[in-house]
Structure 1
Amino acid sequence: MSENPAGDVPENVQAADGWNAVIDDMAATADAYRDRGWTTLELHPGDSVLVDSEFRTGLDVVLPGPEYEKLEAITEDDDTAFTDVDVFTAEDGGMFYLLVVEKDPDTETAVFVPAYYDPGGSQPKLDSITEAGELRLFCRRLNNDYVEFVHEDVAPFLPDGLLDA
């Protein structure tokens, strides 16, 4: 491979830096929730992608087995209902990064889901999501079992100005 005469950081390194920043932000935000007495679960997806198929339309993150099992246990608890969400976003190097915090204020439980996608290469999928009027967040394991969070307000999950276009 030839040297980069411009001295720019390669795109894959920029993406890694952006992802590491999201993971660091997740850890700090989860610490703040724990300091206030909340139960937290921090997820570490191995992949994140927008999907638009006959099976799923939305944002799909693939989780390691043990994290998926913890998420499944929390969401199957009859006392827990995730009725609130915070979405923190950043754009860097053409990538759109998200930290989704699924919250149950009654039980003070929060699930932290970091994700990312390339809005430039995802326009048809983003169009499907906006036309549907909801964003479905699929947290799944490799065998395709999944926990789903449905959000009727898609705006927080999209780059600024996308809905205005």
Structure 2
Amino acid sequence: MDDIGTPAGEGWERVIEDMHATGETYREDGYDVVELHPGDVTVVDDGSGFDLVVSGEEFAAVQSMVADASLTETEVFRAVEGGRVYVLVVVRDGASEAALCCPLYYAPDRATSLREYARESGRLFTYVRSLSADDAVAVAFDDPELFFPE
């Protein structure tokens, strides 16, 4: 996996704050919301997306949500700061009122494979896993251009 640096800094803190506010807005609208707090975010070796390492509790919540909901609606919020792109992705199922909030980050100059994969395939993935899990939950995004600054 491509090491894309640590998320330290105000940009990461802001995306986490935005995630909490966005999650609360969805909860007020009646949604069941899972917010992820990854301890690590990397770009997968083949460039197909991001690998997020989360707590066992968050991983179990994601597994449960994807088993019960069709997360096909996507919102992407993006900011560039300090040489990193910070992204908050919300995937949701309006029918079952379920929403998953995924904060991500990457350094554009170290994520060439990500952009190439997105252009060639027309999609990106987020692979959510815990340190203790042997498998990952894959969440697909069909409009990867939203992840990249102009």
Q: TM-score, normalised by structure 2?
A: 0.88
Alignment of 1:1-165 (within 5 A): 15-53=8-46, 57-77=48-68, 80-142=69-131, 143-160=133-150
Matched-pair contact (CA < 8 Å) for 1:15–1:95 = no
Cα distance between partner residues in 2 of 1:96 and 1:73: 29
- Whole-angstrom distance in 2 between the partners of 1:125 and 1:85: 18
Residues 137-146 or 19-28, more deviating:
137-146
SS at match of 2:116: helix
Closer, same or farther: CA 126–52 of 1 in aligned 2, 3 Å: farther
Count of residues in correspondence between the two structures? 145
RMSD over aligned Cα, in angstroms?
A: 1.9
* Identical positions, percent: 37
**Partners in 1 of 2:83 and 2:92 — Cα distance?**
29
Contact 2:118–2:145 (CA<8 Å) still a contact in 1?
A: no
* Cα 1:40–1:74 shift into 2, 3 Å: same
For residues 32-60 of structure 1, give each alpha carbon's deviation from its aligned partner in whole angstroms, at most 9, with x where no partner exists.
1111111111110011121133xx72121
Please name the residue that 1:7 is paired with. Answer: none
Query: Structure 2: where are the runs of 5+ without partners?
Result: 1-5
> Which deviations, in whole Å up to 9, do the C-alpha atoms of 1:106-131 show, x marking residues without a partner?
01111111110111112133212322
Alignment TM-score, normalising by the size of structure 1: 0.81
Distance 1:128 1:106, change over 3 A: same
Matching residue's letter, 1:118: A
1:110 match: secondary structure: strand
Q: Which of the pair has the greater relative contact order for Cα pairs under 8 Å at 6+ separation?
A: 2
> What 5-or-longer segments of structure 1 have no aligned partner?
1-11, 161-165
* Alpha-carbon distance between aligned partners in 1 of 2:88 and 2:41, rounded to the nearest angstrom: 12
Higher Cα radius of gyration: 1
